[in-house]
Amino acid sequence: MRAQLLLLCLLFAACIDSSQRPIELPLRLSGTAPAGLISAGDWTVTLTEARLAFGPLYLCAGVQAGTLCETARAEWLGTAVVDALSETPIEAGRLHGVSGPVRSYMYDLSIVSLLAQQSPVVLEAAAALGGSSLILRGTATRGADVVRFGIDLPVRQEAGTEIGVSVVRKSGSEPFSHELTGDEAGLLIRFDASVWVSQIDFAALPPGPPVTLTEGSQGYRAIRGALVSGTRPRFDWQ
């Protein structure tokens, strides 16, 4: 009887596996709006440059990415630089995987943490940005006050965090669900640069020559926090 049950389980598993099919979809990346005015408290911000190094990306069957995403449903192992001030999508590459539900995601910003290596690895897109995940430049104004600012920000796993897992993961409260069939025309991910600067305390920055936001400063922490745990990009299945 036990042998028969085992055989039935194996046959059932084989049927489940056979119901899946390989998928390959285009992955596109874009910004959500052209350069323009952004509100940051009582300041108005104009961004002149916002280039983000994105990837790799993993789409997971479970509702929480991370260690629970041991095998991705679909993945893109490449990286690409996206202009977050342009609504024109770029062709980043191809998502590869198998059909089935995806309920979470995780990704890096072209600097990855590997279990077999102590130091993070800088991938192609971040290397193109001089080792940074984000290059951001802009001007903030409030009446007669004018602050010019910029940042070259590498986003990687910090000391004490879990090694080998992507730095950005779907939040627990974020709705994300899609039945991946392979019939989709592709996936478009849109990034909104305005959310990266909305929490900067521009009153604490000096006017005059451009200010570089350095590690440890309020502006640096605000932008990093927005990238890692703030408003997520928009995933549009096409």
Whole-model pTM? 0.88
Q: Is the pLDDT of residue 162 over 50?
A: yes
pLDDT at 160: 61
Q: Is the pLDDT of residue 4 over 80?
A: no
**Cα separation, 16 vs 112, whole angstroms:** 33
Q: What is the pLDDT of residues 52-100, one digit of tens each?
A: 999 999 999 888 776 657 678 999 999 999 999 999 999 999 999 999 9
Q: Residues 6-25: what's their mean pLDDT?
A: 57
Are β-strands 211-212 and 145-153 bridged in parallel, bridged antiparallel, or unpaired?
parallel
CB 63 within 8 A of CB 112: no
pLDDT at 62: 85
pLDDT at 85: 94
pLDDT at 65: 73
**Cα separation, 143 vs 122, whole angstroms:** 41
**Cα separation, 35 vs 133, whole angstroms:** 19
pLDDT band at 165 (very low <50, low <70, confident <90, very high): confident
pLDDT band at 128 (very low <50, low <70, confident <90, very high): very high
Structure tokens, 168 = 């950005």
pLDDT at 66: 66
Task: Name the residue with higher pLDDT: 43 or 173.
Answer: 43
**Cα separation, 90 vs 84, whole angstroms:** 11
**Cα separation, 221 vs 126, whole angstroms:** 19
- For CA atoms 196, 198, 204, 210, the dihedral sign is positive
**Which stretch of DSSP H or E encloses residue 141?**
strand 134-142
pLDDT at 14: 39
**Cα separation, 123 vs 39, whole angstroms:** 33
Share of the chain above pLDDT 90, in %: 72
Share of the chain above pLDDT 70, in %: 86
Closest CA to 98 of 15, 192, 17: 17
